[in-house]
Structure formats: C-alpha cells, structure tokens
Structure 1
C-alpha cells in the first residue's frame, strides 16, 4: 500500500456533499429554512440532467458546499435524485497529478476527465465501482475530486512534506 509520501498530491478536506431528491424545494425546507444554510448559487445543466441550489455551511476556506439537486427530467440519466447522497467532494492540492497517479494505480475514474465544476473549480470523479482494469472505486459512493484554490491549500495544510 502506498504511503502519503509516495503520492504526488494530498487530499485536504471536505469540499462538498451533494444531496439529490425529486424536488429540491423539499430539500431547501430542511437545509435552508430549518438548518439555516445560505443559498449562494444555482447550477443548471441539461447534459448533467441537474438543477441544483448551491448552499454554504461555514465561511472562508472552511466553507463546505451542500448542493441540493433535482433532475431536470426524472426519466433521464444521470438520475441525480436516485441516490439521496449523490456524491462527496474532496479538496485536492494537485488535481492533474492526482488523476495521473490514480490512473497508474488502479483507481477507476468516471468518464469526462478533468473539467470545470459548478462552483468554478476543476473537478473529476472517482467512479462508484471498480472494474477489472481499474479495481479501486468508491465502493458505492461517487467521489468528486476538486482542485483546491491557493488559499484553501495554504489554510488546510497542502504543503508537501519531504
């Protein structure tokens, strides 16, 4: 098993959780109206079949997004509402190096590669399930890797240790 010193990247902390449901207004009743999170944005993508409200928990580099997602068309894929905990997002200090290392070490990444995410950071996903070629997956959980901006890297200890 590889140690942290063997990896050219570091996972720094939780960036987001994404919760799906058939009606994001019901999700807002809990997360915004009851628990007090603040809606900071909205993201709609026909290609990703999602209409999501981006909410914030905490502030600054310690802010965690809680994305409340509903499908644009409940009969199309991806079915963002089919799994209530849709995915977990993790800050990573060097996304390209992480992807390169994971590809070389049997981690199955979801199709789409590195691309801009809803919050404006580059992202990619670890597939929920491994396969023969890439046996390491999320064990049923979709995991989003999010390129951390410099201020998050500095605050959450992304400095390399030699």
Structure 2
C-alpha cells in the first residue's frame, strides 16, 4: 500500500511540471486533445513506477515514455490530413496570423521524427545525446533529423525569416 508521502510527492511532481510537459506534448503531436491523452498515459506509467523512479530522474522517465508513445501512435494511426486548399494559398493569407500560430502549423507539417527532435532539442533544450536516448535513436540521426526539420521549417515559414530581419 502506498503511503501518503509517496502520493503527495507524486502530486507535487505533477503539479510543478504538468503545464510545461503538456506544451511539449502539444508541440510533438499538434493536437491539444491528443497531447492531453499522451501526457495522461505517460503519467499513469510513471505513477505505476513512482517508488522506483522518484529518487532518480522521474522527469526524464516521463519524457522518454511520452515521446516513445507519440512515435508509437504515429506508426499506428498515421494518416494524411486532407486540406481544403493547397498549402500555397493557405500561406498567402497569413499576414494577420500571429507568428506562433504560423509556427505551430508549420511544425505540424513536419514528419513525426523531425518534429519530436526539434521539440526536444530546441523547445525542451535537451542535448543531442539526451534527445537520442529519449527517442531511441543515434546522435547522428538526431543531427540529421534536426537539420532536415529546420530546413523544412524555413521552407514552410519564409515569413518568420522576414519577421526576424525586421526585428
């Protein structure tokens, strides 16, 4: 039976990190409801192992579970999203859209592995080695996926480059 201190330790851990982890999950999967499901599933797995993991790095365990589950979902349920108009005409009407929405849309258009690498490396500010460990790939794969993902973002978001030049 779990003690109250274990339960309160777990609750405090979740309370302190849940918003940041939910943002990361959203950036990885691109859908708020899926992000909530992804984080909730990872928290359940962490809760089941809390007594063994809490003295180490429970956030690392949680992130690993969350990103690996996201990759598993992509593999099982990957489907193309039909669009009402070609991407060129969608991008043309974006002058009044805040840059973070443009970025979120561009991020959703990346392949899942590139998206996960970019979120882990640049949003969560993890090292290449830690990103590789979480995703279960090599450091070389992290480097190549980050390079390809950044190149694709530049193609999808030329207006962001223009905004940066204007200040």
The structure with the largest strand share of the pair is: 1
Structure of higher CA gyration radius: 2
**TM-score under structure 2 length normalisation:** 0.24
The structure with the largest helix share of the pair is: 2
Higher relative contact order, structure no. (Cα contacts within 8 Å, ≥ 6 residues apart): 1
